[in-house]
Structure 1
């Protein structure tokens, strides 16, 4: 397979499997954002592309438990890594780079400490996706769809956590600047919510 072939296979697969459908946009945004952050860095673009597009496979409907109790204990990362390696191998992804993809996916969450350039880029970009206007959209869409968030008031702790904690967790200079800007936008939004609704938000 050519470079173009495996990348097209990845995109087409995620386009089909990303459910609910709004989850699809996160992947191309994440890859583009990571590339922006890393424009002056030395990293493997094959690894970054594969990791960015595949990293959330285990949270898609059909790839994770449907039972709320089981879902609350679900760690999507091991499943995502195993399935990604299997799929990428079938699509002709360079075998010598599979371990690097696995490492990037393994360390992409806020709690993690990535040791590779690709993992650091992926983690910082994933944090940025939880801030600003995109962070608001990705959180609000869960209301009434995710059993953890039955109302608007139930997502305010998530947004407050993002602005007060996540905004300070990025590692790279460029992503820190972007996080500050996005966090300020999120603060303005939350302030407007409290001003407009007070204790009456449901």
Structure 2
């Protein structure tokens, strides 16, 4: 049975913005900071905050498999596939998952943790499936998509503080551009029905995508 939802309405600002610590957190942040656009990095960090708030409001933070270090790693590295280290042969989600797995493996993380982070990143653009998987995959998906406006009401009380600390900086335009750039590197990087393929069709049609429109016209704006 899920735990009672936590009341975060009076949580101090410094608690809301606190990040987990340790070698995994530092390595994840360094890996992402070296290759992704600053606006995308802010998006990744915000996703972690949204996911932690989502978990608290759903009474999930006391679950045995809730792990904030892995949650941070999955969020902060979920767009590694848009960076220059990605080979450009597979979907950016999968290549990002591979790169994140290499970071964790290099730190000596248990194979089970590596697999969980790989799965969470590989499935982060796939609707409906993450909620049937493990807690990390589910929370990673939820945190990322809150940053696109889904379930915005759950984090309305903290969003001003988090956006002030990690501003949006036209994230959706930059992210769309790098996803499309990765997808253009090979046919197998943007296979039919993948996000990159869909975005490319929309961008070619009228120069704009539903992902961009959804964010710009959504609760957060740009």
Shorter-chain TM range is: 0.5 to 0.7
Q: What TM-score, normalized by structure 1, do the two folds share?
A: 0.61
Tell me the CA shift for residue 8 of structure 1.
1.0
The equivalent position to 2:170 in structure 1, one of 117, 120, 137, is 137
User: How does 1:100-139 map onto structure 2 within 5 Å?
Assistant: 100-114=116-130, 115-131=133-149, 137-139=170-172
Equivalent position of 1:75 in the other structure: 91
Q: Provide Cα deviations, 1:73-123, integer angstroms capped at 9, x if missing partner.
A: x51122222222122111233333112112212221143511111111111
The change in CA–CA distance for 1:11 and 1:64 in structure 2 (over 3 A counts) is: same
CA distance in 2, matches of 1:88, 1:143: 27
Structure 1, 26-35 or 76-85: larger mean CA deviation: 76-85
User: How does 1:1-202 map onto structure 2 within 5 Å?
Assistant: 4-18=22-36, 20-39=37-56, 40-41=59-60, 42=63, 43-63=66-86, 65=88, 74-114=90-130, 115-131=133-149, 137-141=170-174, 154-155=207-208, 157-160=210-213, 162=214, 183=218
Contiguous gaps of at least 5 residues in structure 2: 1-20, 153-162, 182-199
The change in CA–CA distance for 1:123 and 1:135 in structure 2 (over 3 A counts) is: farther
Contiguous gaps of at least 5 residues in structure 1: 164-181, 190-202
Q: What TM-score, normalized by structure 2, do the two folds share?
A: 0.57
Bigger radius of gyration: 1
CA distance in 2, matches of 1:91, 1:14: 15
State the 4+ residue runs in structure 1 displaced beyond 6 angstroms.
132-136, 142-147
Aligned length: 157
| Aligned residues: CA RMSD | 3.5
Higher relative contact order (CA 8 A, sep 6+): 2
Q: By percentage of residues, which structure has more helix?
A: 1
